[in-house]
A and B are shown apart, each in its own frame.
Chain A
Amino acid sequence: MHPNLSFDQAPPISVPYRFFLVAPWFGVMAGILLGWSGPDAFASRWTPEVLALTHLIALGFMLQAMSGALFQFIPVAVGGNVWHSRLVANAVQPMLVLATLLLVAGFLFSRPGLLSAAVPLFLLAVGGFVIAVALALWRTPATGMTLWAMRMAIGGLAVTVLLGALLAESLARGLTVSIVELTNIHLAWGLGGWALMLLAGVSYHVVPMFQLTRPYPLWFARGFGPLLLFLLLAWSGQYFLDEPRWPMAAGLPLLAIFFAYGGMTLWLQYTRRRKIHDATSLYFRVAMLSLLAFAISGAAFFLIPAIGADPRSVVWLGVLAFAGVFVSAITGMMYKITPFLNWLHLQRLGAPMSAVPNMKKMLAAEMMTGQLRLHVLALLLLLAAVWLPGLARLAGMAFAASSAWLGWNLISAVRRYQTFRDQIRAVALHC
């Protein structure tokens, strides 16, 4: 066997779960923060509240959940072996939690010292994670566009965190950098180069796998990642070029490929073979519709400067991207991964298969679809609150409630795993 080829569904169940269980509570914090801040929070992208909210979701929810999922996905999808995954997860995850809290507090209370304290922690935590994952992704003998997308995504994460560290240090120490341009580039690499690149790479597998759709066309899978990377590099040129039309020239093609990915995924789902709907497929649909809305409104903001000049327009895009695209897609994925991992690890305990409850007994379908409905309501309220600030408190509370429900659902699934595990062990002891 190839020395770096993992055919086992490593890692231990605690590795993805420690990330998954924490992620929703950052969503709860974000919702409470918005509810507490009230009508002025969404006035522009630069308010302390929006900066704090963005990083609660991007780092607390998205990075936590995506890191946990990567530990699980790499061995199964691309046969990679993450070096000492339990050790890396145990070291990285608490550091990420602490760094996120410090950064968010730094934004919220305008304390440069907290931003500076968060930077080395992020560099250490994300640096360790990137190195461990990159080694697994480069050593595997597997091939394919998912692998390449994952490699590009992990590079995108590294760029995002380095730019973020530079921005945080600039704010903390008053360095002379072009904050607006650098923030635009940091945001594009985080949302596009890391999050969307990873989502697309994973979609090439999981959309056909969960929904029994046709595969993404080869030309699409081959073209999307490299084109996204190229356009992100072009977008980053705005920092060096003194050309006011440059952001639009690079931004519109970027939005066009976001639209293409969202449209392609919706089309594949629409023409799928499997007729059953579940929370995962519906969540993916919400994510892709949000992505289409993001691309269309982003293009409108570029082309109709009168609307684009409103400081709330970027907040609108942020709500669509963070709450609409990524929180939705990630939640949908966790609702599929968690029951399966429960089942997979329980049946490895050596009990007869009939003693292991199936996936639907791990997490009740009504609890998932109920939480999905509340999330959609929260998303609509958040979008409305951008233009109708009076709704901000209600939107924040709805998002906090929806995230808490997600957190509770995941805790329930893990408790069921523990109950079934104890039952199986007790039976084995008496035999």
Chain B
Amino acid sequence: MSITAPLFQHHKHCDEIFADAEEACGKGDWTAGAAAFECLRGQLETHFASEEDLLFPAFEAATGMTSGPTEVMRGEHRQMRDLLAQMQGAVESRDSDAFGGAAETLLILMQQHNMKEENILYPMCDNALNSSDVGAALAERLK
């Protein structure tokens, strides 16, 4: 198994929770929607933190690239956190339209972010961190 395989799988897991949250909030089922959204926000935060605390520093130390792809990914994490905050506000005010708009934006941002990670950054990390124990630490955090 590659070092980044747990992150790859966790993307799919987050997609599933996203679909549940979007469907429930879109229908106005705020009890189920709030629970699914809380789960989504928690899982995404765990994912971002795993990358920012473990993977990115290890990659930067191994390659010396501190202002390249990892910096762009950190910036997109900030954008996604902001959108999650907007969605939180919409859940609290029970505003389906506001939730749907922020959710749609988050989905596209998240998917193109994942695409760049899965196609480009993760393979680079797998190459650079071949013999490190980062993979085990990531698997532990994301289980």
Contact = CB atoms under 8 A, between A and B. Distances in A.
Contacts of A142: 119-120
Contacts, number: 90
B98 to A, nearest CB: 8
B141 to A, nearest CB: 24
A275 B19 contact: yes
Given A7-B68, A360-B100, A353 B119 contact: no
A336 B108 contact: yes
Contacts of B68: 1, 5, 7
A360 B120 contact: no
Interface in B99-140: 100-102, 104-105, 107-109, 111-112, 115-116, 119-120, 123-124
Contacts of A394: none
A311 interface: no
Contacts of B26: 275-276
Contacts of B18: 212, 274
A341 to B, nearest CB: 10
A209 B105 contact: no
A78 interface: yes
Contacts of A68: none
Contact of A76 (B19, B23, B104, B116): B116
Contacts of B123: 143
B29 interface: no
Contacts of A5: 68-69, 120
Nearest to A341: B108
Given A77-B115, A79-B120, A353 B86 contact: yes
A209 B49 CA distance: 23
B69 A1 contact: yes
A276 B22 CA distance: 8
Interface in B1-54: 15-16, 18-19, 22-23, 26
Contact of B104 (A7, A273, A360): A360
A144 B120 CA distance: 10
Given A1-B69, A77-B115, 5 more contacts: A1-B65, A142-B120, A143-B119, A143-B123, A358-B83
Interface of B: 15-16, 18-19, 22-23, 26, 65, 68-69, 72, 79, 82-83, 85-86, 97-98, 100-102, 104-105, 107-109, 111-112, 115-116, 119-120, 123-124
Interface of A: 1-2, 5, 7-9, 76-79, 141-144, 205, 209-210, 212, 273-276, 336, 340, 343-344, 347, 353-354, 357-361
List of 5 A-B pairs having minimum Cβ-Cβ separation, nearest first: A1-B68, A358-B101, A353-B82, A360-B101, A209-B111
